[in-house]
């Protein structure tokens, strides 16, 4: 049973840092329940505003619907009493409705709606798709603006007018003109979150465009650093942000960009580096090579951001 109305959820999420926990796997690449629960307990012990289970960094794209709903249920059990847990939905309209209903039954407070699978689509089709999912659940729905799901300002406004539980717009395209149009038309009716890879990189400029928060993948393994970074963004402390970009974020991008798909693998690498191993990534992703993992460990150490109590 949800603890937040959609409007309360939006209010809670918009002014705090958000994150996407990794999904822990064992040596056979099956879900490692104990390791996942331990990770969620740790992640929710900090002042994070929302956790999106089985999202992109949680390798939701490798999970069956049954596995995804199991992961969401575990996340709710471990973290739900202190932090709102959100789930994701995707695929066909029917599949996304099923995901939404499973997530609601598992106790998720909200939903991130991923782009429809594979096909091209235009605004009326997108509207019908999102509308059907919003109508199928009482929880808050956030659309994910990326790939084939690029929402015009008018489509966003139409969804907002017709669905009270449509609460948020997450962007992973970084098209300044589009974001400006969406925000200018919809203002405070929604909340806006940045979701480009390694979202810290863009957090300050996107704040000016209305994005008061973002999804931090690095929060998974350096939560204190990620929270400090978010504080600097909200204070618009350009000097502190530049210092943190140069000390950790930009050299981190250099490792992340060595192999396609490392955007997720490097997060599991970070957990390995700090002694909180959440296992390997599932194909089609690949784990960090030993050399890349060594570089990441050295960088975390050099940047002085080893989490309290970690062994490195
Ligand atoms: O679905 C996801 O995991 C994301 O939104 C991507 C990350 O959290 C991204 O914003 C990042 O890498 O910081």
CATH (domain of 175): 3.20.20.70
Say yes or no: CB of residue 115 within 6 Å of ligand 1: no
**3-state SS assignment for residue 216:** strand
Say yes or no: CB of residue 263 within 6 Å of ligand 1: yes
Residues 296, 273 contacting (CB under 8 angstroms): yes
pLDDT over 90 (residue 309): no
User: Ligand 1 mean position to 18 CA, how many Å?
Assistant: 9
Q: Are strands 110-113 and 85-89 parallel, antiparallel or unpaired?
A: parallel
Q: Is residue 305 part of a domain?
A: no
User: Ligand 1 mean position to 294 CA, how many Å?
Assistant: 23
Q: Binding site membership for pyruvate: which residues?
A: 57
Residue 197 banded pLDDT, cuts 50, 70, 90: very high
Q: Binding site membership: which residues?
A: 57
Structure tokens, 246: 């140069």
Q: Is residue 107 part of a domain?
A: yes
- Where in the sequence is the domain holding 73, given as residue range(s)? 6-236
What is the spatial distance between Cα 270 and Cα 273, in angstroms, rounded to a whole number?
5
Interface confidence: ipTM more than 0.85: yes
Say yes or no: CB of residue 230 within 6 Å of ligand 1: no
Residues 267, 220 contacting (CB under 8 angstroms): yes
What average pLDDT does the structure give for the chain? 97
Closest residue CA from atom 13 of ligand 1: 198
What is the spatial distance between Cα 251 and Cα 247, in angstroms, rounded to a whole number?
7
- Residues 2-39: tens digit of each pLDDT: 899 999 999 999 999 999 999 999 999 999 999 999 99
- Residues 62-113: tens digit of each pLDDT: 999 999 999 999 999 999 999 999 999 999 999 999 999 999 999 999 999 9
Residue 209 banded pLDDT, cuts 50, 70, 90: very high
Residue the block writes with tokens 């505003």: 49
Residues 6+ apart with CB under 8 A from 135: 163
Amino acid 145: pLDDT: 98
- Residues 215-233: tens digit of each pLDDT: 999 999 999 999 999 999 9
Say yes or no: CB of residue 174 within 6 Å of ligand 1: no
What is the spatial distance between Cα 133 and Cα 276, in angstroms, rounded to a whole number?
36
Say yes or no: CB of residue 201 within 6 Å of ligand 1: no
- Reported residue count of the chain is 312
Q: Is residue 55 part of a domain?
A: yes
Structure tokens, 80: 């739900």
Closest residue CA from atom 7 of ligand 1: 217
Q: Is residue 68 part of a domain?
A: yes
Q: Is residue 1 part of a domain?
A: no
Q: Is residue 275 part of a domain?
A: no
Instruction: Compute the chain's Rg from CA coordinates.
Output: 18
DSSP 48: -
**Catalytically annotated residues:** 144, 170
pLDDT over 90 (residue 310): no
Closest by Cα among 205, 269, 259, 246 to 57: 269
Residue % of the chain over a pLDDT of 90: 98
User: Ligand 1 mean position to 216 CA, how many Å?
Assistant: 6
Q: Point out the ligand 1 atom lying closest to the alpha carbon of residue 197.
A: 12
Q: Residue 260's CB: how many other CB atoms inside 10 A?
A: 10
What is the spatial distance between Cα 253 and Cα 246, in angstroms, rounded to a whole number?
11
* Residue range 137-147: mean pLDDT, rounded: 97
User: Ligand 1 mean position to 282 CA, how many Å?
Assistant: 17
Closest by Cα among 169, 168, 176, 227 to 202: 176
pLDDT over 90 (residue 45): yes
Say yes or no: CB of residue 20 within 6 Å of ligand 1: yes
Amino acid 235: pLDDT: 98
37 Rama sector, left if φ>0, alpha if ψ -120 to 50, beta otherwise: alpha
Say yes or no: CB of residue 55 within 6 Å of ligand 1: yes
User: Ligand 1 mean position to 39 CA, how many Å?
Assistant: 17
* Residue range 166-174: mean pLDDT, rounded: 98
Instruction: Spell out the long-range contacts of 179-185 with Cβ–Cβ below 8 A and sequence spacing 24 or more.
Output: 179/206, 179/209, 179/210, 179/211, 180/209, 181/152, 181/153, 182/145, 182/151, 182/152, 182/153, 182/156, 183/209, 183/210, 184/153, 185/153, 185/154, 185/156, 185/157
- Residues 286-295: tens digit of each pLDDT: 999 999 999 9
Q: Residue 86's CB: how many other CB atoms inside 10 A?
A: 29
**3-state SS assignment for residue 16:** coil
Q: Is residue 261 part of a domain?
A: no
Which of 75, 197, 252 to probe ligand 1 with, by most ligand atoms within 8 A of CB? 197
Specify the number of domains making up the chain: 1
Q: Is residue 154 part of a domain?
A: yes
Residue the block writes with tokens 């900090």: 46
């Amino acid at each position: 049973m949800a603890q937040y109305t959609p409007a309360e959820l939006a209010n809670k999420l918009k002014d705090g840092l958000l994150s996407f926990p990794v999904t822990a796997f064992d040596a056979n690449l099956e879900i490692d329940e104990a390791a996942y629960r331990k990770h969620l307990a740790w992640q929710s012990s900090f002042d994070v505003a929302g956790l999106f289970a089985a999202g992109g960094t949680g390798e939701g794209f490798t999970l069956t619907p049954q596995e995804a709903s199991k992961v969401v249920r575990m996340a709710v059990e471990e973290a739900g009493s202190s932090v709102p847990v959100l789930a994701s939905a995707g695929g066909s309209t029917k599949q996304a409705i099923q995901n939404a209903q499973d997530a609601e039954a598992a106790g998720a407070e909200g939903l991130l709606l991923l782009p429809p699978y594979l096909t091209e689509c235009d605004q009326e089709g997108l509207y019908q798709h999102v509308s059907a999912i919003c109508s199928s659940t009482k929880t808050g729905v956030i659309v994910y603006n990326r790939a084939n799901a690029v929402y015009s300002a008018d489509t966003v406004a139409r969804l907002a007018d017709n669905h009270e539980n449509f609460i948020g717009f997450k962007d992973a395209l970084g098209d300044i003109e589009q974001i400006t149009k969406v925000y200018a038309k919809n203002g405070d009716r929604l909340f806006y979150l940045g979701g480009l890879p390694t979202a810290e990189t863009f957090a300050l400029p996107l704040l000016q465009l209305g994005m008061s928060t973002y999804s931090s993948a690095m929060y998974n393994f350096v939560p204190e650093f990620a929270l400090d970074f978010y504080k600097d963004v909200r204070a618009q402390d350009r000097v502190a942000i530049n210092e943190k970009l140069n000390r950790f974020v930009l050299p981190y991008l250099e490792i992340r960009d060595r192999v396609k798909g490392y955007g997720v693998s490097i997060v599991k690498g970070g957990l390995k580096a700090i002694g909180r191993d959440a296992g390997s990534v599932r194909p089609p992703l690949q784990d960090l090579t030993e050399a890349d993992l060594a570089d990441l460990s050295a960088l975390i150490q050099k940047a002085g951001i080893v989490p309290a109590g970690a062994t490195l």
